[in-house]
Amino acid sequence: MVSCPFNKGDTITLQQQYVIVSLLEETQKYWLLEGTQIPTQMTVMIKIYINDKFSSITEAEKAWKKEINVLQSKAGITDLPVQYIESGSIVISGEKLFFIVLNYIEESEQLAETAEEQEIEFEEDEALSETHSIDGIEFTIKAEELEKEKIPQTATSLSRDVDDFKPEKKIASKPSAPKRSKRKDAVSEFKEIPEEPKGISFVDEKDYLKHISMEYFDRMNPQNYYPLTLDIADLLQDEKAPIINPLTGERKIQTQSQLDAKLKNPIVKVRPILPGCNVVPREIETDFNKASDKVTFYVTPFVKGEIIGQISFISEGKVFHTTKFDAKVVDPNYVRVVAFLGILASFVPKILSLLGMDLGLDTTIDILASSSIAVIGGMNIASIIAIGGIIPVIIASVLIRKRLKPKSTRVQYRLADFRLKGLKLPTTS
């Protein structure tokens, strides 16, 4: 037979918590424990069904439910010395155990019932007697004596004949308190009563392994808002290529991480922290029991430059996991100016030529080439070396940028990116 794993001082948690005081009885089908309910300090009995002598765990559960039903309905039970409180189940060492918590019926309830019965009898006796008071002394004359002695009913006649009989002081007898049944009797009556849980189970820690895929803009423009999405799932998500906007400098990327935690409560708060940015909403709750869940925040930067942010995962008021990430807020106006000047450089010469304005734009390549050779021919060696050093640096910079750029990056343009709103052009004095 499996020995009971609960010892004195251990705690069992259902809707309320109970401290084990002692083991009352140990059989092949159940353990009977005495405990104390922590909030109320009430003495309780805890009956635990075990799958030892039952044919299967289903049979143990059936007996458990039957006993709960009987205790809740009290059908066919008289003078039951226990009262049902709650029930639940838990898995310990691979075995599912079923719990029932009860308490003894309060002794005051039994006393009240007995006292009420005795009070009725006392009132019947009192009806057969009369009570009188002379000089502050109360005495009772029974109906038999009244009939026998023929005592007058007025106070004055009583005062004259008071010496003819001995007054009897009235002493109200207290009803004798019934003796409380011993716990062994309560246990023996409870043994054979078989009971239905109310869906209450033990709060036990559970291991969670989650894959977190975070999509966010690591390059942002000030005064715009950007989505920050976390996909929290049991399975690893597909990787997504970064998306970049060359005109604004905005870039959206995906990062993946893993979270391994042991929690009692599967409800977890997700809270992003980005200094210098407004984040809406401040936090969102997610259920780790779900196979997949997606939460989205919106970030509005108010500063420029580097930002070091983090995502905090909070359970029962404590941060149990943190994911850090980097971002940068860039001003897109400089890129827009270059793009605008490039457009002007492309269209203005052609427009001026159509308007008949001669700015030397009709010069042919041959004349330009001969002029260039003449210029180069007049340069000294030092100037040629300087030009020869600048050109390789420009070429190397272009190649390095190409190499560092992610191969799968997609370029994305928007018409609104060409706006020059908020741009302050230099003024000439």
What tens digit of pLDDT does each residue of 31-84 get?
899 999 988 888 899 998 887 778 888 888 888 888 888 887 765 555 667 788
* DSSP per position, 62-93: HHHHHHHHHHHH-TT--S--EEEEEEEEEEET
In 3D space, the residue among 297, 291, 296 whose CA is nearest the CA of residue 279 turns out to be: 297
Quick one: pLDDT at residue 396? 72
Span of 43-57, 333-347, 401-415 with lowest mean pLDDT: 401-415
Q: What is the Cα 1 distance to its own chain's centre?
A: 39
Asked if residue 347 has pLDDT above 70, the reply is no
Residue 314: partners with Cβ closer than 8 Å, 6 or more residues away: 268, 269, 270, 271, 283, 320
Q: In a 3-state reduction of DSSP, which class is residue 391?
A: helix
Q: Where are the alpha helices (DSSP H) in 378-415?
A: 381-404
Q: Which residues sit opposite 312 in a β-bridge?
A: 271, 322
The Cα 109–Cα 60 span in angstroms is 34
Asked if residue 154 has pLDDT above 50, the reply is no
Give the H or E element holding residue 116: helix 107-127
pTM of the model: 0.39
Quick one: pLDDT at residue 73? 74
- Spatial contact of 191 and 26, defined as CB atoms under 8 Å apart: no
Give the H or E element holding residue 139: strand 137-142
Averaged confidence pLDDT in the chain: 74
Asked if residue 354 has pLDDT above 80, the reply is no
The Cα 300–Cα 296 span in angstroms is 13
Our CA angle for 418, 423, 425, nearest 5°, is: 120
Asked if residue 99 has pLDDT above 80, the reply is yes
Burial class (CB in 10 A: 0-12, 13-18, 19+), 372: exposed
Residue predicted with more confidence, 91 or 287:
287
Quick one: pLDDT at residue 85? 87
Buried b (16+ CB within 10 A) or exposed e, 82-114: bebbbbbbbeeeeeebbbbbbbbbeeeebeeee
E-state strands within 241-337 = 243-244, 251-263, 267-273, 277-280, 284-287, 292-301, 305-315, 318-329
Beta pairing, strands 206-220 & 318-329:
parallel
Question: What is the gyration radius of the CA atoms in the chain, in angstroms?
Answer: 46
Q: In a 3-state reduction of DSSP, which class is residue 285?
A: strand
- Spatial contact of 327 and 353, defined as CB atoms under 8 Å apart: no
Burial class (CB in 10 A: 0-12, 13-18, 19+), 257: middle
- Under the banding of pLDDT at 50, 70 and 90, the label for residue 412 is low
How large a percentage of the chain has pLDDT more than 70?
Answer: 55
Mean pLDDT calculated for residue range 307-321:
94
Mean pLDDT calculated for residue range 209-238:
93
Q: What is the Cα 93 distance to its own chain's centre?
A: 27
Quick one: pLDDT at residue 55? 80
Mean pLDDT calculated for residue range 118-135:
55
| Structural domains in the chain, sorted by start | 11-107+182-191 (3.30.200.20), 206-329 (2.60.40.2660), 333-418 (no CATH)
CA dihedral 281, 286, 292, 293 (to 10 degrees): -20
- Under the banding of pLDDT at 50, 70 and 90, the label for residue 237 is confident
Give the tokens for residue 9: 């001082």
Residue 181: partners with Cβ closer than 8 Å, 6 or more residues away: 81
Asked if residue 198 has pLDDT above 70, the reply is no
CA–CA distance from 94 to each of 51, 81, 90, 91, 325 (Å)? 11, 34, 10, 6, 41
- Spatial contact of 102 and 82, defined as CB atoms under 8 Å apart: yes
